[in-house]
Amino acid sequence: MAVAINSENFESEVLNSKVPVLVDFWSVTCGPCAMLAPNFEEAEKEVPGVKFCKAELSENIKLARSFKVMSVPTLVLIQDGKEVKRSVGFISKEEIIDMLP
């Protein structure tokens, strides 16, 4: 199950992670976010060696700003503490898997 991240645990869960981390910036009021959620969960089950995390936008405004999230859903792949890939908008499970190392 994806780890809920916030400003308190972001460094330990994401920046200091030994494995790549895929962060889903989402909102409860976002239709495409709701459509993406099952694909995100299915990809998590199928891809070992990647940590999946979720950051709800209204609870993580500063974090979202630091990643220049302009719309949701936004998926950000972070490896060794740095952003390496990004996807904005709804994508399929296959497209999520394709963006992972």
> Is 53 known to be catalytic?
no
Q: CA 9, CA 13: separation in Å to the nearest integer?
A: 6
Active-site residue identified among 30, 34, 37, 88: 30
By DSSP bridging, strand 21-26 and strand 82-88 are: unpaired
Among residues 33, 50, 63, 64, which one is catalytic?
A: 33
Report the catalytic residues. 30, 33
